[in-house]
Amino acid sequence: MMRKDMGMTLWSAPHHEEPLEAVVAVPGSKSATNRALILAALADGESHIVGALRSRDTDLMINALRTLGVDITEAGDGTDLTVRPNDIRGGDVDCGLAGTVMRFLPAVAAFADGDVHFDGDEQARVRPQSVTLDALRALGVTVTGNALPFTVHGQGAVPGGDITLDASGSSQFISGLLLAAARFSNGVTIRHSGGRVPSTPHIDMTVAMLAHAGVTVNTPEPAVWQVEPTTIRASDWVIEPDLSNATPFLAAAAVVGGSVTVPHWPTHTTQAGDHIRGILADMGCSVNLSDSGLTVTSSGELQGIDADLSDVGELTPTIAALAALASTPSRLRGIAHLRGHETDRLAALATEINRIGGNCEETADGLFITPVTLHGGTWHSYHDHRMATAGAILGLRVPNIKVEDIGTTAKTLPGFEKMWARMLQGGDAL
Ligand SMILES: O=C(O)C1=C[C@@H](OP(=O)(O)O)[C@@H](O)[C@H](O)C1
Ligand SMILES: C=C(OP(=O)(O)O)C(=O)O
């Protein structure tokens, strides 16, 4: 149910007391879809993508590539895509709030025969970007600007070479260069110098998808990645379900009790979301991966955790919601880089958990959450899809939570509210 409050659209998060029994199929992975699109756009022929995610972030990528001259046609419900590369041309790119668009596309734009202007949401203008742009400059590309809005002055080719950068703010700085590197005239050697690189499974995904397209990434020593110039092979891509988007549904079983199954859960994957299995088990859930998918079963009683989430930072909003409903405190560490995500997620989570009566302390690199009795109130989303879904999880156990702008979930999961309602009715959601 929606209502407006001082201009804000508020969604009454369903409160639920009965144990769950539901199957929830989630659409394709955002990270895999946007990588497949980039690789297909730079490939030596026609590629096919099956099971692509259609959401704001992936539609921004599709629209941007079309602007740059790539031919993308859709079949069925739009999740089957055929991509035919072309010479890259100049144009205007809207990045929205998508890290994958703002960090992956500039290297592609460098192959254009003219200027590519990038801009995005106001919040995207403060997301870290200069590492990508300085790296391109060091590889021989002319770029104006250091953050959105910026312009890549494409000259048809990228010389490439050796660079040192600091990717402690985002793994996407590395992935974005690696995805295009095989097309650089001299390839690339990327050396990371700085604090720990976060979200390393996402770099593993980049390397694995490049291998599928015939490109080898050598890692002669830790924190060094090398790509020789070679052809990016046109490929068939089958996109796995988005395991990070599955986590709020699994969390529902964890906090309410009962069980939720997510079908088609891969047995081997580079997706960071797969780590939810160990995290939910550590919090006291029973977690079973079988031919039916991943099933999480819980009594609804959870214990707190002490966890380094550096590799799986995008799961933090789900885990913070679980931690606020657990019976013992949790320390979530290794996630200072979340201050540069869709919003400053550490500040946002602490503010919103405390607003509904919780006890969440922001630390230098994470959150310390002491569970206390929570009360209803408005849960602000900050245009962050995962803040909105965290509010939905809390609302299952805390009556009268109103989530602001639930529609922001369309960044990666359009129709979230309907899937949530169907899950609570015990149906097959999707
Ligand atoms: O490459 C990707 O697809 C992503 C990498 C990660 O970014 P950071 O390294 O900035 O955390 C992750 O959080 C984001 O949701 C998607
Ligand atoms: C950090 C995220 O997104 P982005 O790809 O915009 O960085 C996320 O989805 O949690």
Check pocket membership of 175 for ligand 1, CB cut-off 6 A: yes
Residue-wise pLDDT for 342-387, tens only, equals 999 999 999 999 999 999 999 999 999 999 999 999 999 999 999 9
Over 60: is that where the pLDDT of 3 sits?
no
With 60 as the cut, is the pLDDT of residue 430 above it? Answer: no
Q: What is the pLDDT of residue 135?
A: 98
- 76: buried, middle or exposed (CB in 10 Å: 19+, 13-18, 0-12)? exposed
CA dihedral 99, 105, 110, 113 (to 10 degrees): -140
Contacts 24+ apart (CB under 8 A), 72-78: 72/37, 78/52, 78/54
Integer Cα distance of 154 and 135 in angstroms = 15
Ligand 1 atom 12, closest CA? 314
Give the closest residue (by CA) to ligand 2 atom 4. 99
Ligand 1 centre from 398 Cα, in Å?
A: 30
Which of 38, 123, 342, when mutated, tests ligand 2's pocket best, judged by the most ligand atoms within 8 Å of its CB? 342
Identify the burial level of 291 via C-beta atoms within 10 angstroms of its C-beta, where 0-12 means exposed, 13-18 middle and 19 or more buried.
exposed
Model confidence at 8, in pLDDT bands (50, 70, 90)?
confident
Give the domains, in start order, of the chain with CATH numbers.
2-27+242-429 (3.65.10.10), 30-228 (3.65.10.10)
Banded model confidence at residue 396, pLDDT cuts 50, 70, 90? very high
11 has pLDDT over 80: yes
* 291 CA from centroid of ligand 2 (Å): 29
What contacts 237, CB < 8 A, 6 or more positions away?
A: 32, 36, 39, 40, 47, 48, 49, 50, 209, 212
The stretch 219-233 carries a mean pLDDT of 97
Average pLDDT of the chain to the nearest whole number: 97
Please say whether the beta carbons of 349 and 324 come within 8 A: no
Cα separations in angstroms, 13 against 5, 124, 418: 15, 27, 12
Ligand in nearest proximity to the CA of 124 = 2
122 is catalytic: no
Whose CA is closest to atom 8 on ligand 1? 170
The model's pLDDT over 297-342, given as tens digits with 9 standing for 90+, comes to: 999 999 999 999 999 999 999 999 999 999 999 999 999 999 999 9
Instruction: Give the strands of the sheet with 359-363, arranged side by side.
Output: 306-308, 330-333, 366-370, 359-363
Is 316's C-beta closer than 6 angstroms to any atom of ligand 1? Answer: no
- Output the pLDDT for position 5: 53
